[in-house]
Structure 1
């Protein structure tokens, strides 16, 4: 069943044509990825398909009664609303019913209102849907639903926008860079969710593992044409190479034939006969093919690197806190030549703080950081990407240098350097304000490498870069002779470039793990499996004790409780009462909307301990109560 059809649509920004005469369709159940270079209009195309914009020409047809949800790359959220109001603000009757029920729960004294909400939930069979919504919010670490949107960070807004899209249970879900601002656990959860859900999906993402696992159809936009591949990303890479090889062979063949036909045309045949007219028409068709150019431009990165001395970077017992929250606690490390280190940890664990300590943006509370005299940092920082909006691209580069030194004594002009970063002559005179997100990041990377750094610190460098640019960046970094320190949620990028990881575990604890991200993930899965196996074995060991207790009940009744057991029995009653009270306290705190996520996380861990302790003590109390008779 066809959900969406695109016929001959064209879109321009001023004089710049983004795409022209595109035609394709999306069928029910397809999970489609759109792949294209930065600046070719991926985001504009998604907005047109989602009904947020319109094409200059052409038609987009959507099947009647199809519900579409759209996750924008930069969500435009109602800043005056709370998360609760925004998430449940949809025309879906199930969402409205669940919203009424959740509001009624906040006023349990109004029994009539609560009963009415429960009856509505029963009538629409909304209970499973409510559980699903809470699971989505929990996995995206959205806890305080009464927080105002205006107070949220960029990452929090993206997660709320994703929750808003997912809870609608749309027929067609359109997502622009869904993995940006998500930590590894969230990305892996979203992968599993999208893979298992029976939904129709269209998305743009640079995450190649995500593409491989979730998508079953790839649409490539290249040189103004659409190419479709039935399969995941790995299949697309293989078939694209075959297509390009076939296309190159066809062009070579056409060029050879074109030479022969050109000589015939120069003899100026009189196009009176049918055969002559046909041959002339064929000549012009052949000329179009023969003069085709396979656009395979790639970013070229070969900027000169400053010499790196013997002493690079040393951290000795470094400590940093903000109030009571420890970000780095007594961490020491000595960097060696050509180190490639990845940084992994949940949002808020101190990763960005750590990078700012290294670059001197923040001062340590204790310990010291020693930087070698020859070290030149290149810090690719999301917050630092403040390019002058009112300047042209070439002016931004010339402000740094007119000529840029390369390896082997060569140099480039500013214009030549921009050509290497895929900014054509016309684009070099485009204002920064007109660049796409990916083009801005490419320009920012260009200005960073112009300073010839020998120690690169990359904080989420993959966001919004197209896959083709990412591959070239990876090739460059693989051969980069300096040091690399990378924070990224792109697992493929981390796997290819890092040798070991700094794991930010929270509370200032940083662990050095020998291996890349996939090694670390495998290690954690084995560790979790071992913990689960140990828990199962403990239950098996306890099981016979419970059976013996049942069988020997009569014997136990005849046995008297010792003085020591009597004291233990009385103490258990007090401890169980205390644990029950604490459990009730934590439960009431959970219901308080003003509690921050970090506090909720600590309380969740404590609740698990309380419940486990209660189970153990109640079991022992039952054993002793049999003796008490």
Structure 2
């Protein structure tokens, strides 16, 4: 079924056009990713398709049976209403039945028995149970609870998840033909949520148009990529890798075409200069053709290949040492005896569920928060570059180039040369005309890009990046990755972008909860594979294959896993427990040998010594396992 036709679409803000005369089609079952630089019209195009903005020219035709549902960056919630009221914000008998039932059965609620019986009867009458199970799955996977809570009391990330839940519930309800439009759906989701969303969208028979910076998500979900570039639209079938190859070929072809036009332009320019003022019909047509050639010849090919061999601020021998660091908020433990000494050039990813304490850890490291106890010793030469989720902060509005020049006029390179502020801005995809734009007029993604640029321009030697990929476009991410791959300083990254982490980090700090932090030697994909292996149930002893000795050499060949802090602590406690049990066993042996015990005491001591010996065997085996790891 044909869903959408777009013909000759044009949209401008002020004098600058975002896109001109673009056309495309969307068919049922298409899953399309829209790729472009921030500020070049992605969100505007999505809003035009939803009917929330009007184009300057062109037509948008949407099939009368198709319902368009959109997940936007700005959710438009009524902040005074509850989570449930915002999710089910339109009236329908089935939705009303589910809303009443969910509110009565929400966590912590004490439902009135009569009201609950009536709600269940209504669910039966409406046949709403199948849809309710899908609602429960969506809410559970996105960690949305306490449905009667006012949405204005939630954090931005929590509101984002509620908006996503609302959209997914909407597309599952009564819409046979739905075009789902999503603007950065993976922002503020942890990795388990992103993986669930991938599977959900893959299984659901949904037609999809989305903007995302998550390349693994894009590859998993989408089968077509549309790119807005230099006001034109280009369409590529296939995955992200195919898009990169086809785009490179297109740019090479355009480059050759421009060079050819420039050669023709030089010849025609010479002819124009020799022309008399009186025009013949023949010369008039040639002059018109000259202006067309001139336009092609003067087309600017964006160059993103400026390489920076950075002259980094000197790193001394001492980087950062953390010794027995403890941190908790009430009963919520963030760090429990954390020890680590950073080395030169380390690239560490920080992962864990939302709320596990990752941002708190970064703040303690940089001295923005104090640990409850322990020491954080920072080397004298350390210059932090902190890219936080708070975003860009400026005292007053100014032009982009002025903002960067206020930091420094030039950026030093390793060979002794310098890159000007304007050149550095161009590297991060701010062309000359954009450099004189006021910061207040930049898009949200452009402000994030400028924030990142301003931190790197200060030339730090220890980068702390907290969710650096949120709201950044794919071209900027590619440039950032290239920059960080050649960066000689230390990098600490908190990110849910698996592709970004896999490309850059050497090992991970995994926040497992209850103050435990695992130091995992590998990238994120390797960790997830290891984690899934750990979740597999071990075969029972009687079911183990007889040929275990053959498996032993393979196990011996595997590198030893480094002990986690949790395992170190467990080993210490085991030693204390075993010492206490040994003392108790010795005391019981003496009592049994004394001959002074009554029959009842003798029986109790005999039973107790059996328990003690069993515990000693059990704890001794576990201690041996841990000692081998140590």
Name the TM-score, length of structure 2 as normaliser: 0.79
After superposition, the C-alpha distances for 1:558-610 in whole angstroms (9 at most, x for unaligned) are xxxxxxxxxxxxxxxxxxxxxxxxxxxxxxxxxxxxxxxxxxxxxxxxxxxxx
Change in CA separation of 1:21 and 1:511 when aligned onto 2, cut-off 3 Å: same
For residue 38 of structure 2, what is the aligned residue in structure 1? Answer: 38
For residue 160 of structure 2, what is the aligned residue in structure 1? Answer: 158
For residue 583 of structure 1, what is the aligned residue in structure 2? Answer: none
For residue 214 of structure 1, what is the aligned residue in structure 2? Answer: 221
Contact in 2 for aligned 1:31/1:201 (Cα 8 Å): yes
Superposition deviation, residue 116 in structure 1: 4.6
1:534 and 1:53 map into 2 onto residues whose CA distance is: 62
Q: Map 1:8-407; keep pairs closer than 5 Å.
A: 8-90=8-90, 94-103=94-103, 106-110=111-115, 113-114=118-119, 116-122=121-127, 126-169=128-171, 171-258=178-265, 285-297=292-304, 301=308, 303-383=310-390, 385-388=392-395, 390-407=397-414
Superposition deviation, residue 238 in structure 1: 1.6
For residue 449 of structure 2, what is the aligned residue in structure 1? Answer: 442
Contact in 2 for aligned 1:217/1:231 (Cα 8 Å): yes
Contact in 1 for aligned 2:428/2:476 (Cα 8 Å): no
Superposition deviation, residue 229 in structure 1: 1.1
1:250 and 1:426 map into 2 onto residues whose CA distance is: 24
For residue 506 of structure 1, what is the aligned residue in structure 2? Answer: 513
2:237 and 2:210 map into 1 onto residues whose CA distance is: 15
Moved more, 284-293 or 442-451: 284-293
Contact in 2 for aligned 1:220/1:228 (Cα 8 Å): yes
2:441 and 2:169 map into 1 onto residues whose CA distance is: 34
2:39 and 2:502 map into 1 onto residues whose CA distance is: 27
Contact in 1 for aligned 2:348/2:492 (Cα 8 Å): yes
Superposition deviation, residue 216 in structure 1: 0.8
Superposition deviation, residue 329 in structure 1: 0.6
Superposition deviation, residue 232 in structure 1: 1.9
1:425 and 1:262 map into 2 onto residues whose CA distance is: 27
1:133 and 1:225 map into 2 onto residues whose CA distance is: 40
For residue 553 of structure 2, what is the aligned residue in structure 1? Answer: none
Moved more, 336-345 or 247-256: 247-256
2:481 and 2:221 map into 1 onto residues whose CA distance is: 23
2:458 maps to 1:456: no
Superposition deviation, residue 267 in structure 1: 6.7
**Aligned with 1:408: secondary structure?**
coil
Moved more, 253-262 or 483-492: 253-262
For residue 480 of structure 1, what is the aligned residue in structure 2? Answer: 487
Contact in 2 for aligned 1:375/1:454 (Cα 8 Å): yes
Cα root mean square deviation, aligned: 2.6
Superposition deviation, residue 524 in structure 1: 1.3
Superposition deviation, residue 303 in structure 1: 4.8
Contact in 2 for aligned 1:100/1:117 (Cα 8 Å): no
After superposition, the C-alpha distances for 1:343-396 in whole angstroms (9 at most, x for unaligned) are 110001110010000000111111101111111111111125323462322332
Change in CA separation of 1:97 and 1:533 when aligned onto 2, cut-off 3 Å: farther
| Count of matched residue pairs | 532
Superposition deviation, residue 405 in structure 1: 3.5
After superposition, the C-alpha distances for 1:4-31 in whole angstroms (9 at most, x for unaligned) are 2223233333343322222222121101
For residue 474 of structure 2, what is the aligned residue in structure 1? Answer: 467
Superposition deviation, residue 268 in structure 1: 5.2
1:337 and 1:182 map into 2 onto residues whose CA distance is: 31
Superposition deviation, residue 128 in structure 1: 1.5
Contact in 1 for aligned 2:347/2:492 (Cα 8 Å): yes
1:534 and 1:235 map into 2 onto residues whose CA distance is: 46
1:240 and 1:149 map into 2 onto residues whose CA distance is: 43
Superposition deviation, residue 93 in structure 1: 5.2
**Aligned with 1:162: secondary structure?**
helix
**Aligned with 1:446: secondary structure?**
helix
Ranges in structure 2 where 5+ consecutive residues have no aligned partner: 106-110, 545-630
Ranges in structure 1 where 5+ consecutive residues have no aligned partner: 539-629
Task: Find the partner of 2:530 among 523, 527, 533.
Answer: 523
2:23 and 2:302 map into 1 onto residues whose CA distance is: 21
After superposition, the C-alpha distances for 1:76-134 in whole angstroms (9 at most, x for unaligned) are 22111111111122356542342244356644314773365134322xxx322111111
Contact in 1 for aligned 2:38/2:443 (Cα 8 Å): yes
1:46 and 1:53 map into 2 onto residues whose CA distance is: 9
For residue 564 of structure 2, what is the aligned residue in structure 1? Answer: none
1:474 and 1:76 map into 2 onto residues whose CA distance is: 34
For residue 547 of structure 2, what is the aligned residue in structure 1? Answer: none
Change in CA separation of 1:293 and 1:366 when aligned onto 2, cut-off 3 Å: same
Superposition deviation, residue 50 in structure 1: 1.9
Contact in 1 for aligned 2:98/2:123 (Cα 8 Å): no
Contact in 2 for aligned 1:89/1:96 (Cα 8 Å): no
Contact in 1 for aligned 2:465/2:493 (Cα 8 Å): yes
Contact in 2 for aligned 1:104/1:113 (Cα 8 Å): no
Contact in 2 for aligned 1:303/1:450 (Cα 8 Å): no
Contact in 1 for aligned 2:332/2:514 (Cα 8 Å): yes
Change in CA separation of 1:14 and 1:368 when aligned onto 2, cut-off 3 Å: same
Change in CA separation of 1:348 and 1:272 when aligned onto 2, cut-off 3 Å: closer
**Aligned with 2:10: secondary structure?**
strand
1:506 and 1:535 map into 2 onto residues whose CA distance is: 31
For residue 433 of structure 1, what is the aligned residue in structure 2? Answer: 440
Change in CA separation of 1:114 and 1:38 when aligned onto 2, cut-off 3 Å: closer
2:474 and 2:423 map into 1 onto residues whose CA distance is: 23
1:2 and 1:210 map into 2 onto residues whose CA distance is: 25
**Aligned with 1:396: secondary structure?**
helix
Superposition deviation, residue 288 in structure 1: 4.0
After superposition, the C-alpha distances for 1:261-291 in whole angstroms (9 at most, x for unaligned) are 6666667597557xx8877766555444444
